[in-house]
Chain A
Amino acid sequence: MSQITQKTFTKISDYEWEISTDFRSDMRVPVRVFASQALLQEALKDKSIEQAVNASTLPGLVEAMMVMPDMHEGYGFPIGGVGATDPENGVISPGGIGYDINCGVRLLASRITLEEVEGWLPDLATSINHHCPSGVGVSSNLKLSKDELADACIKGSRWAKARGSATEADIKRTEDQGCLAGADPGKVSQRALERGRSQLGTLGGGNHFIEVDLITEVFDEHAASVMGLYRGELAVQIHTGSRGFGHQICTDYVRRLQGTINKFGIKLPDKQLVCAPIASEEGQDYLAAMRCGANYAFLNRQLLAEKVREAFERVLAGKVDHWKLKQVYDIAHNIGKFEEHNVQGDRKTVCVHRKGATRAFGPGSKDLPEEYMEIGQPVLVPGSMGTGSWVLTGTATSMLRSFGSSCHGAGRVMSRSQAKRNVWGEDLLKQLAQDGIEIRAGSLPGLAEEAPQAYKDVNEVVESVVGAGIGKRVALLRPLIVIKG
């Protein structure tokens, strides 16, 4: 393959670039990158664009293979990749969704000011850490039977509501109301169910976290007030996914599809892009299983949100006037879904793969709760540990240019081993403490891997998103408490 350089791209705007299908003979659609020139240059240092070109060879893709500005090298799809396929002649690719099915972010708002709780932050950090099981190999307090788990992954967040662990407002303010239709536990392996039983209601490790944040800036007063976000008040982010349940589902289907790819006559440049026609038995089975993983993840974040609420009540009840947390939104950034979009000028249902990209539906979308119809969907963009996070909204442009998608975070620029070579976990812990951040972390080397230096500047990523018109700034958050497994 020819080397990819700046010259490979056609400039569409200051924040949008394309590689045409002339670049490589097996490309089926162009690659469209949303990034500033500086971030595009950064992306050329790893294989993210090459992986997007590889992904553009998937059968049935429409319009373009998109890449968000927080892109980085993944496996198969790049992280930050968005690809939509035609349900009639297109494919579904488990690798285009990822092992952590429906990894995502939930944002809760409070009416608590920093002044009210400043003296209680260490207690609050300890209480959240105590209430929310986190870390590698840590099991859930829930002991579900296989039947209960099967029921849970059909119902998603509604399973929690039936047990008094979710409100109707929580459900309404979750992407797809916390439940994808068409989940079939019969398509999930016994091994996945076994892993799922012991991990529901746990945070996990790696880059997953719970943060208590301070809203430091508001850029769109109206949208922020609709979401319940006010400058000087606290908010909570929960970032996790479908745990070992989702990992096993993806593992099972990536393996199964390796054995069936030849019968469909599909040639791929990377085995991890393995796929099946959406209409095939294999494709339908994967979709039914993947939806179980997605519903499990919605439920997982719901159960953790309830635990965070308990922790807030335990520490702050009687000390502040309003300690309750209201849901702003819950979004997925590793998922595959059927959505209606403009394709070559026509409205068409397509299967949108988002791998490290967030849905960002604009104002007027019928899939949004009534109160967000006017402002557009909240888009949650966590920054690296110890730095700011953004709340954005989806736009009319995101609906036209990126299949209603936007970025999902800061995006890594440094490998984990390099981060550990450059940063001592203990030093980082001290630095974060000096910056006034309460940290509860299970592993110091793990903390070093997630050091802010290992990530892009989230502000640059957001500048590209806003510059490209696929997101609009609403509020900026600064961390006060970080819980990591």
Chain B
Amino acid sequence: MASHGYEEVDHTADIAIRVWGENFQALLRQAADGLYDLMGIKPIRNSPAEVRFDLPQGTKEDILVDFLNELLYLSDEKRQILNDFLFSENNDEFEIQAAGCQILSQERQIKAVTFHNLSVEETNHGFKAIITFDV
């Protein structure tokens, strides 16, 4: 198995993905890729976007859900898809800088990221989690 990645997990009505990474930041990057993949996004070439946002410090589950919900908001309202994430943190905040581009088209709407049975687990190889999305 690769040191990081994501794969879809069966769910009757909604959609879930299993995500893993060699550290928590890699897990966040994979979760973002997995989310965009589920949304079926096609980007507009040569439409650069740069974004910086802060999330409140919390448990790893809180940060993961907040991070993905921020991406959902940016895709829904600003029509932006992001990559090249840079993460930094202090006692109060988790800071994210990212580059990306505008969305050309999107196949599927994801309504929200849920906390359903969410647990970010540390493994011998890094971190893993199963994330359920409301569609």
Point out residues on A near B: beta carbons under 8 Å.
46, 48, 72-76, 79, 95, 98-100, 136-137, 191, 194-195, 198, 204-206, 244, 247-248, 250-251, 254-255, 258-259, 270-272, 274, 412-418, 443, 445-446, 449, 485
Contact = CB atoms under 8 A, between A and B. Distances in A.
A443 B115 CA distance: 28
A98 B11 contact: no
6 contacts: A73-B11, A75-B114, A206-B135, A244-B77, A255-B65, A255-B69
Contacts of A206: 108-109, 111, 135
B71 interface: no
A136 B13 contact: no
A198 B79 CA distance: 12
B12 A446 contact: no
Interface of B: 8, 10-15, 39-40, 58, 61-62, 65-66, 69, 73, 76-77, 79, 103, 105-109, 111-118, 132, 134-135
Nearest to B13: A412
Contact of B116 (A72, A137, A271, A418): A271
B63 to A, nearest CB: 11
A272 B116 contact: yes
A254 B65 CA distance: 11
Contacts of A255: 62, 65-66, 69
Given A270-B116, A271-B118, A198 B15 contact: no
Given A137-B106, A205-B109, A76 B114 contact: yes
A99 B133 CA distance: 11
Contacts of A194: 77
A73 B118 contact: no
Highest count of chain A CB atoms <10 Å: which of B15, B106, B108, B111: B111
Contact of A250 (B79, B112, B117): B112
B101 to A, nearest CB: 15
B110 to A, nearest CB: 9
Contacts of B77: 191, 194-195, 198, 244
B12 A412 contact: yes
B13 A73 contact: yes
Contacts of A247: 111-112, 134
Contact of A443 (B15, B79, B107): B107
A100 B10 contact: no
A195 B76 contact: yes
A244 B8 CA distance: 24
A272 B114 contact: yes
